[in-house]
Each structure stands twice: as structure tokens, then as C-alpha cells.
Amino acid sequence: MVKQSWKEKGFVDEPVDSSLDLKKEIRKLCQEKDAIILAHYYTTGDIQDIADFVGDSLALARKAAEADAKVIVMCGVHFMAETCKLLSPDKTVLCPDLTAGCSLADSCKAADLKAFKAEHPGYQVVSYVNTTAAVKALTDCVVTSGNAKKVIDSFPADAKIIFGPDYNLGNYINSVTGRSMLLWNGGCHVHEKFSVSEIVKLKAEHPEAVVMAHLECKAPVLAVADVKGSTATMLKYAQEHPETRSFIVATEAGILHELQRTCPNQEFIPVPPEVSEGSLGCSCNECEYMKKNTLQKIYNALKEGWPAIEIDADVARDAVKPIKRMLELS
């Protein structure tokens, strides 16, 4: 039975014996309940270590679509768990903490997008995967940072497109395709904090380092980056260039775990967030929503079978279509 206190907090808030080896117990529960754990690169290293699969949004979507386990534990943020449920509607999809949201998803409400579409008849909607199921239901095709250009290139050159909610990603795609898509003015609160000045400082200290930046960063940051792309793009580049000894990385700090694990002989330097005068800075830039995933919450979610994602049937029917279209094009 789901307790009211759990619903109010958005996760199973039950004490766990401190003597338990949570990693071992989680794997045991996965075996007992026929469950797999999917984790995004931005989760903490201990979660990535116990996951059956770690990836970016595109890879996680593909994995969810082909998963044969009865239960999927999505360690990321809420829209990722929704995507898993849309692609595997007959499976139980657990989200360890329902309050693990996303500033990008929050920046585009379904009602606002519906009104914007009405103001622009004849336009198709391409939505970043960082959106709610309700927004995806109003969308013609979904993209990730890893496949956005490829998907947009599949549209006729004269297609009228509304792109949202990530302004920076849309602006980049416009610049490399020559299109003039209408852009929603949303942004990732993590990637918005990166600045050219911080990168310039690090480059002065590490002149041989290659600068890698996520496409959710602002245009001036992307302009000084040597490698621009998704987290998977950054990983692939580092793995394929062992001769490069150091990298300056402008994305959420969780990716450093996988970079260091797969490229132990290379140095990865996180770009710190830009801070206002007089405030205390930190050496890396983290998403507090991703960090809401913990081993204890995963253990309790598996043990109790909650929080489980539920999506209105009518919304789900329409929302899964643009995701499947994306996967077909990728």
C-alpha cells in the first residue's frame, strides 16, 4: 500500500538498515523482480556502477524500447521515466523520485504550446526529448541532442518548424542547417551557467586541452568548443582520441565518471558554473534533479514497487508517435 507521506514527498521515505550493502541488495531485488536499471550519465557514479545500462537520452530511449524485463527502474529525471513508459506501456516503470524534474521540461507547458501552435498554422512541431508526455502528444517528431540535426535534415527544406523547448539547441541546429525554425525560449539551468570567460581561464592553464561542450550551452560557449555534441558524442570522441591528454568539459559533471572510467589515462577538467560577484563558486556544475536519485531511493522503489509512472491513455497514444518516428529516423 502506497503511504500518503510517500505521495507527498514523491518517493518511498522508509529507513534502511545502515548495515545493508545497498548495491548488493539492489541487484538481488532486480533478480527477484525481473528488473533492469537504466541510468543517465548525469546520475552519481555509485548509481552508474550498479546500472544495467548507462547512456544519454537517445540510448536510454532505445534501450527502453527493446527491454524484455518486467520492471524498468529509470534513474534520471521524470520525463525520461515517462519516455520509458511510453515505449514499454505494459511494463512497470519506476522513477525513484517523482520530484526529479527538468528545467527544460518545465519551461514548456502543454497548454502554452497548444496556443502557440494555434497562432502558427501550417507549422510542424519538433520537440526536444526533455519534455513532458503532454507536450510530446502535441509534437510531430522528437529529437535528442545526439540526433537533432539528422532528424531536422529529414524534413523538407521549406518545412515550417516550431522547435522547442531548448533555444540553444534549436539555435545551433538553425546555424548548421541554414533553417529558420521558430524557437521556443527555454533552457537548461545547468548548461545556461557555463560561460566563455571560465573556459578561457581553463584554456590558459591547459593550452593543449580539447574543449568539449554540450549543445544545450549558449552559442558563445559552443563557438569556442572544439567538440560540440551530446554526452555520447563527447565520450566517443575521448575514447577515439587517446593521444589527447586533457579535455575541458562543459556539461553536467556526472559525465566525468564515465569519462574517467573508460579513459583512465586522460584528464577531464570540468568547467565551473559562472557565479555572481560575491557568491561562493564550486568546481563543477551539477543538476540537483539528477542527484535526487540515490541508492536508498532505488532500493525502496524496487522493494515497494513505487513510484510507478502512469500516463493518461489518450496522452500516451499521441505522445509515443513522435518518439517512434525519431527512433525510425535515428
Over the chain, what is the mean pLDDT? Answer: 95
Tell me the per-residue pLDDT of 71-105, one tens digit each, with 9 for 90 and over.
999 999 999 999 999 999 999 999 999 999 999 99
Of the pLDDT bands very low, low, confident and very high (cuts 50, 70, 90), residue 42 is: very high
Query: Quick check: 168 and 184 in contact, CB under 8 A?
Result: no
The answer, yes or no, to whether residue 258 has pLDDT greater than 90, is yes
pLDDT of residue 280: 45
The architecture of the domain spanning 191-270 is 3-Layer(aba) Sandwich (3.40)
pLDDT of residue 277: 41
pLDDT of residue 46: 97
pLDDT of residue 214: 97
Does this chain's domain 4-100+290-312 share its CATH topology with 191-270? yes
The most distant pair of C-alpha atoms in the chain lies apart, rounded to whole Å, by 62
The answer, yes or no, to whether residue 199 has pLDDT greater than 70, is yes
CA distances from 107 to 75, 111, 177, 215, 252 (A): 22, 12, 25, 17, 19
For the full predicted model, state whether its pTM sits above 0.85: yes
Tell me the per-residue pLDDT of 142-170, one tens digit each, with 9 for 90 and over.
999 999 999 999 999 999 999 999 999 99
The architecture of the domain spanning 104-189+317-329 is 3-Layer(aba) Sandwich (3.40)
What cell numbers appear for 269 in the block?
577538467
The answer, yes or no, to whether residue 275 has pLDDT greater than 80, is no
Beta strands of the chain (E only): which ranges? Answer: 35-40, 53-55, 71-75, 92-94, 124-128, 141-143, 161-164, 182-183, 210-214, 227-229, 246-250, 267-270
pLDDT of residue 284: 63
Which CATH code is given to the segment(s) 4-100+290-312? Answer: 3.40.50.10800
Averaged pLDDT, 289-316: 98
